[in-house]
Structure 1
Amino acid sequence: MGTSLGVALAAVEPPLLQGLTALPDRVKRLLAGSPVVIDGQTLDLDTQLLLRVMKVARKPVVEQIPVPEGRLALRAQSAVVGGSQPIGAVRELEVAGLPARLYVPRGVVDDGPLLLFFHGGGFVWGDLESHDASCRYLAEQAQVRVLAVDYRLAPEHPFPAAADDAEAALRWVTENPGAVGADPARIGVGGDSAGGNLAIVAAMAAARHGWPLKFQLLVYPAVDQTRDTRSLALFREGFFLSARFMEVATASYSPPGTDLRDPRLSPAFADLAEIGERLAPAYVATAGFDPLRDEGEAFSRALAEAGIEVRLQRFPDLIHSFFNMLAAGRAARAANREIAHALRVGLHGS
């Protein structure tokens, strides 16, 4: 549910990461070991090599350290895998009482398409910094303004705090499009993992209230807190996002007594037929070696069965967190390029 590759790579400094990814493939294969093939999919070589390095380093991952330390580690290390991504302009602001950051791509002057973005991190970790590189890349590649919002985190603010913030942020954007240079007819919502969950929650609120919304960009969204899928069984350990991470995240965001089937917590249980054609079209990206793969793909099918326009794209050789891996391998960057293209088509129309 959004565990950052940056945290897991705490032992890998930028020069080492760059050196690893620049090695010839034959050398990478010698270092990484035999190909990993699961469920008919072969793990990307760069990703396998990074996993191997992390296993040798034996560094604690985010769910094994106190939450405040995990947040600091994520923020500090995100630049390792995100790299330096160009952007036209960045502006700090407040959206519905929440800290936010507006990314304006180079060459964009007039009001135009805008993506309201929610970061991943299991509703517990993550902030504007952890996804800064990804937001910069999306904005530039899609030629779309990206407005990232720093919603409240658990366990300090459990459910429905983040869901409330997501809905309030979208309401604010629809009521104040000029403040962020947005064309009211070309507003989208998006996010990765837990952020994908919040994007869906905001989109469902837009459908209920009649707010204008053109597109949903959902990157391996976390949609079912009850979680009983084949992909969870297959990839519960060893591919960054672990079953233990999800257990900690769910317990932190959903205190005892919370209905895990509440659609604002688990959109998989929403009555999509009731929302019908009012829900914005969606692009859903999943990763082949991700515990969240099957729930995201099941949700995509449910959207289609409810008559909602949806495109599903699985990146079979990648893991959860590839969205943050702009400087950590060719395959992850190529996947992010495809996601940015989908955003451009979804909000620009071409």
Structure 2
Amino acid sequence: MDVTVDGSTSNYGEGTYDLWFDRDAEVTLKANSGSSSFACWMGDYPSGERTSEEITITMDEAKTLKAVFGTLQVWLDDFNDASKLASQTNTEVSGGYLQLAQQPTGDWDPQAQMWVQPSELSNPKGGSEEQGYVWCWGDWDERKVAETFVPSVTGNLESVTCYLCVPWGTTNSAFVEIWTADDDGPTGSGPLATSEVVDFGGDNEWHEITFTFTSPASVTAGQRYAIVWRQTRQDLFNWYIVGYCDGDPYTNGKAFWCRWFFPWSSLNLDFAFRVFISTGYEYYSAGEAISEKIPESGTVTAWLAVWVIWLEVEPNTSLTVYVLDADTDDVLKQVSLTSDVFWYRVDLSDIDASEHPRIKLKAEFTSDGSETPKFSAWAVQYYTE
């Protein structure tokens, strides 16, 4: 570092120095980069000149100054995937952008359901082998049950809700399929859709279970379909029960069962069920995403800036970016972005790296449902030892 007073310059290397000057002397300090780049001043530097390599101070009182050097580093997430996001709520990485996710718009079909309270089921925590039992004992035996139904709307069948019970203390794994159907039960060479597997406990209690579909089945109003309950491969004598009501409470469908490769046989009952059918999609009204901690390792000597890149902020949407302390979640900086810009820079040079050694980024999105704000990358510049 060069120190100049009254035209006379002295050079100082790495270390700590006590220097004495006349009161009100004008002292110019210049940080000379060597193997490491100049990052910033710490201490009693002039306002607004924290990152200026050369500053001038007036010695009207005792002052402490430290020139900070380091190697410039860049943390970047360009949203090829979500691997650098620590958490997400109602957001997704799609097409190289971070944005709000979409949710189906629709409702439980009021006509394609037979829904009661658990106390109204005809098989309270039990049933016979010819009725609600489902099992899969390896390749040599499987028992399935089904309920046919007729939707009143055309759309995507997003989920099925029903009541399931395991009679004794084992955890069971169930899934459902959607098939085409006729008056004799499920038809076709394979299911239209297969749900995610759901695990539930063996406590001899009814559980209201919702099965969701990653790839929903497209259903047409007035056509007949079937819900087929199945079990993942289990040990012998491990099964679950589907809740039902005796008789014909759901007049637009029938209950069936089959074992192994034998044909479907009808049952004098209806399984309790309801189906959610979406007729479109809209963006969530709010969501957020939080980055991993920055940096993962190393010691930061100074923070420089955050860059938010390629922003698209549509009308009736908003995007707010926060810089958080990675350990306390204290908000260090925040900026609200309301229009399309190629990039936006958030200055971090006034954040003391010794007090905030790691940070994380948070993006908050809002929307009226028709559009989503989005951006293609964010980056952090900082210096390390």
User: Which interval holds the TM-score relative to the shorter structure?
Assistant: under 0.3
Instruction: Report the TM-score, using the length of structure 2 for normalisation.
Output: 0.19
Instruction: Report the TM-score, using the length of structure 1 for normalisation.
Output: 0.20
Greater share of strand: 2
Greater share of helix: 1
